[in-house]
Amino acid sequence: QKEVEQNSGPLSVPEGAIASLNCTYSDRGSQSFFWYRQYSGKSPELIMSIYSNGDKEDGRFTAQLNKASQYVSLLIRDSQPSDSATYLCAVKPPRAGGTSYGKLTFGQGTILTVHP
Amino acid sequence: GAGVSQSPSNKVTEKGKDVELRCDPISGHTALYWYRQSLGQGLEFLIYFQGNSAPDKSGLPSDRFSAERTGGSVSTLTIQRTQQEDSAVYLCASSSTPLYEQYFGPGTRLTVT
């Protein structure tokens, strides 16, 4: 089982619709969860972080976290063609051996296409 | 303020040569990370520095890879005797603390011919 799993897509939605991106993770003790957007040929850009169960909204983006189900999602409302990109889910695993464990584990990414 | 910077942006090298990649983190960020992204692959963790602590080298794929961070700021990733499978985009990220958000630089695209 992969540590962080995402549907690779592509996910295609019409302009103005809601895009729903999903991610599951295997390590129940994971602490922090992030969504990055990556345009082709560019580096990942942080768009959302979430640390506790529930919803977190920022503009057109809403991140949802359910630690019991080991599930995190990203909703993009009023999708625009400029939202077309690969969306990466990243998870910070729990501390190991009492040391700070800073690395992120990334999913393979979901390709989102928003068509006019 | 300035983001994470990396140099060079592109590097083409011959198989067997050594290369050095540089990362300058966001000012004041104590944590610095190196990742690698190969064509069609996900982001792979390489190494992590936090303050003056010993680095977490658990992601380095072989002993040809090494990294250092001088003065708690700039970091250099060195790949010795490069191989074609080392061709990838090498990404550096930094964060204010290990718990919080990581911000990526633009990356260095390494091509080994």
Report the chain B residue with the minimal C-alpha distance to residue A100. B98
Smallest CA-to-CA distance from B52 within B27, B25, B73 is with B73
Looking at CA atoms only, how far is residue A96 from chain B in angstroms? 11
Q: Is A107 on the interface with B (CB under 8 A)?
A: yes
Q: Is A102 on the interface with B (CB under 8 A)?
A: yes
Taking an 8 Å cut-off on Cβ atoms, the answer to whether A100 and B100 are in contact is no
What token pair was written down for A93?
Answer: 């695993």
The angle at the Cα of A57, spanning B102 to A46, to the nearest 5 degrees, equals 20
Q: Is A106 on the interface with B (CB under 8 A)?
A: yes
Name the band, by pLDDT with cuts 50, 70 and 90, for residue B37. Answer: very high
Q: Encode pLDDT of B74-104 as tens digits.
A: 999 999 999 999 999 999 999 988 778 999 9
Smallest CA-to-CA distance from B7 within B75, B97, B94, B59 is with B75
- The reported pLDDT for the residue numbered A1 is 66
Burial degree of B56 (CB within 10 A; 0-12, 13-18, 19+): buried
**DSSP letter (8 states) at residue A83:** G
Q: Per-residue DSSP letters for A23-62?
A: EEES-TT--EEEEEEE-TTS--EEEEEE-SSEEEEETTEE
- The reported pLDDT for the residue numbered A23 is 96
Q: Which of B31, B58, B107 comes nearest A43 by C-beta?
A: B107
**DSSP letter (8 states) at residue A100:** -
Q: Encode pLDDT of B42-79 as tens digits.
A: 899 999 998 888 899 999 999 999 999 988 799 999 99
Looking at CA atoms only, how far is residue A34 from chain B in angstroms? 8
How do the pLDDT tens digits run along chain A, 116 residues long?
A: 678 999 888 999 999 999 999 999 998 888 899 999 999 999 999 999 999 999 999 999 999 999 999 999 999 999 999 999 999 999 988 766 544 467 899 999 999 999 99
In order of B31, B100, B102, the CA distances from A48 in angstroms are 19, 11, 11
Residue with tokens 């005797």: B81
